[in-house]
Structure 1
Amino acid sequence: MSGQEAPAMDSNTSLAKCIVHTDASKYLYRAAPHQGAGTMEYAALLDAEGLDSNLIFLHRGVIHPQSGIGAHFHNRCEEMFVILDGEAQFTIDGRTALLKGPAGAPCRLGHSHGIFNHTDKPVQWLNINVGLTKTYDAFDLGDSRADAPIDPRPTFMSMRLDSTLLKPVQDFNGGSGTVQYRRVFEPSVFNTVWSYIDHVLLPPGTVAGANHQQADMSEVHYVLAGSGVVILAGDAAETSIHKWDAVPLRLGQGGFVKNTGDETLELMVIGVARSHDAKEAYITQ
């Protein structure tokens, strides 16, 4: 699980040094991941040091045609495969359904999952993993899912990052202007300190608050489209962000995201709490 990684961030490390750019030239080639079919390539954008909460990693890569990740269990961590384009066959607990990107399906503690790209085109892929601790675990089932029967609709939790489902929000989290927003996954979806997945669209010139629950929440902002800047609270410096950048915001580190480009800035936001108590407090606010 090695690859391109952001440096650990402390008070002496600038945000610019911690933002990770997706670079396909740094992807690692891997055959039969978790005893799956075919091959894929990926890099670790963030590892366990990327946040001071229990994010274990954020991986980015491509799943090659007729390839996938074999079915496996996680008993100490939760994981979500996301496809950013195309389509793929997702499996949760032995049941398989087709999802069209951008889409994903979370796998909770003690459940199994896998994915298979049945098409003749590579699929852009993202993987998020959050644990009870910062320790990764997996148990492979020796099942590639390459010939799995397909259900007509998912029998498991899934998401699609569909911009038509977003709602307008004025001055989002202390920002300015009207952005489009949806909480895709609520805290109850996850059994770890993983707290939410948000989908945000910022029109040109608008600003959104980032990690406004600063003391007990951390976030990763993954840029799906567009460009802009991140401004940390109490710091006038602007750090540029672009499509497919990963922006880690640690506990106690809030700020703002501003669209400085001519196109819509699209973000997927991953929220991870400090602890279960902090997550529960966040839910009851």
Structure 2
Amino acid sequence: MSARILLSAIAIGLTVASEPSGTLLALEPLAQRIGHTDPGKYRRSRSHDSAGDMACETLLPGNALSTNFFFMHRCQVMPGGGVGHHFHNQCEEMFIIFDGEAEFTVDGRTSALKGTIGAPVRMGHSHAIYNPADKPVEFMNINVTAVKGKYDAFNLGDPRVGVAKDPVPVFMTMRLDRNLLRPIPGYRGGQGTARYRRALSPEVFLTNWSYVDHLLLPEGASEGRHRHTGVEEIYYVLNGDGEVSVERETARIHKGDAVPVLLNQTHSFRNNESRDLELMIVGIAAEKGALDTVEVK
């Protein structure tokens, strides 16, 4: 899809491409707006003076939403690879690993963390990640800017190889652990009993990035129809298969898919398969603190 390719060289240490028209992907059919994880589309590169390679694709570009979302990358961090130590002063970022173990650094302090886990990083705080193992680590990077489309980076020239590590991280982390979810019957007016947890709250972020939620829908369960007047969302499928409805369109979704939902779009998710449908939901507000949910009958 041409709109997605426009940001194929975005901020992983490559030249940052801009959106010349700013045309929202919402003009395209739902099935085409959904990002699909496809390792065949990954491109190898080095990021912010890293010691070794990552292989990445742009799962969703900045024009997937109208808010200050900038990108969602899906990657593999190769053995000896990662993202070198750097700052952003105009955007916030979160590295997530879905398996294995990687060395996360925030503000010069490093800890080895096991997936699935993420580390949100506020504006003006240095960060890096390194894979010391002998096999790739499944990785995601999410970036939200203070001003729509305005990206910055300051590299420190440090790949963070062989550094001292704290046994307990001294920075914020986000663990997506099913054992932490709590049951909610009829979630947002849906069927069955969902399991839910807010993994990161608005207070974590300085930008309009508002939350990260963890949602699990067992067989036959659904998240009911609802909309947000002040928040846009990305639903990322961690595991399973299911069905999404946005306004009057419906599409099948699978592990590794990312579904963008714009302001005021009525949406719902349903698990009509035998395996659990597990979702990570990234919420970005149009204005700081403008959070709302309107259930739609």
- Bin for the TM-score computed over the shorter chain: over 0.9
Q: 1:8 aligns with which of 24, 30, 41?
A: 24
Q: In 1, are the aligned partners of 2:53 and 2:82 still within 8 Å (CA)? A: yes
Q: Which amino acid aligns with 1:61?
A: C
Q: Which amino acid aligns with 1:102?
A: T
Q: In 1, are the aligned partners of 2:182 and 2:197 still within 8 Å (CA)? A: yes
| Deviation at residue 215 of structure 1 after TM alignment | 1.2
Cα distance change, pair 281–180 in 1 and its aligned pair in 2 (3 A):
closer
Correspondence list, 1:46-195, <5 A: 46-133=60-147, 134-195=149-210
**Which residue number corresponds to residue 252 of structure 2?**
240
Distance 2:180 2:54 in 1: 31
Distance 2:95 2:175 in 1: 12
Q: In 1, are the aligned partners of 2:231 and 2:291 still within 8 Å (CA)? A: no
1:81-116 alpha-carbon deviations (Å, 9 max, x no partner): 000111101000000011110101011011110001
| Deviation at residue 4 of structure 1 after TM alignment | 9.4
Q: 1:249 aligns with which of 253, 258, 261?
A: 261
Distance 1:23 1:281 in 2: 33
| Deviation at residue 118 of structure 1 after TM alignment | 1.0
Distance 1:19 1:58 in 2: 12
2:45 equivalent to 1:30: yes
**Which residue number corresponds to residue 222 of structure 2?**
207
| Deviation at residue 14 of structure 1 after TM alignment | 1.8
Distance 1:214 1:221 in 2: 14
Distance 1:14 1:174 in 2: 26
Worse-matched range after superposition: 253-262 or 187-196? 253-262
3-state SS of 1:238 partner: strand
Q: In 1, are the aligned partners of 2:62 and 2:71 still within 8 Å (CA)? A: yes
Distance 2:189 2:128 in 1: 39
**Which residue number corresponds to residue 220 of structure 1?**
234
**Which residue number corresponds to residue 281 of structure 2?**
269
| Deviation at residue 60 of structure 1 after TM alignment | 0.4
Distance 1:217 1:145 in 2: 36
**Which residue number corresponds to residue 53 of structure 2?**
39
3-state SS of 1:240 partner: strand
Q: Which amino acid aligns with 1:196?
A: Y
Q: Which runs of 5+ in 1 are unaligned?
A: none
Q: In 1, are the aligned partners of 2:228 and 2:292 still within 8 Å (CA)? A: no
| Deviation at residue 48 of structure 1 after TM alignment | 1.2
Q: Which runs of 5+ in 2 are unaligned?
A: 1-5, 11-22
3-state SS of 2:48 partner: helix
Distance 1:38 1:209 in 2: 44
Query: Scaled by the length of structure 2, what TM-score is found?
Result: 0.89
Q: In 1, are the aligned partners of 2:60 and 2:71 still within 8 Å (CA)? A: yes
| Deviation at residue 280 of structure 1 after TM alignment | 4.6
Distance 1:4 1:264 in 2: 34
3-state SS of 2:24 partner: coil
**Which residue number corresponds to residue 13 of structure 2?**
none
Q: Which amino acid aligns with 1:75?
A: N
| Deviation at residue 173 of structure 1 after TM alignment | 1.7
| Deviation at residue 59 of structure 1 after TM alignment | 0.4
1:188-247 alpha-carbon deviations (Å, 9 max, x no partner): 00000000000111101100147x4521110000001100001124x2x42100000010
3-state SS of 1:127 partner: strand
3-state SS of 1:269 partner: strand
3-state SS of 1:111 partner: coil
Q: In 2, are the aligned partners of 1:3 and 1:28 still within 8 Å (CA)? A: no
3-state SS of 2:130 partner: strand
| Deviation at residue 282 of structure 1 after TM alignment | 4.9
Percent sequence identity is 47
**Which residue number corresponds to residue 15 of structure 2?**
none
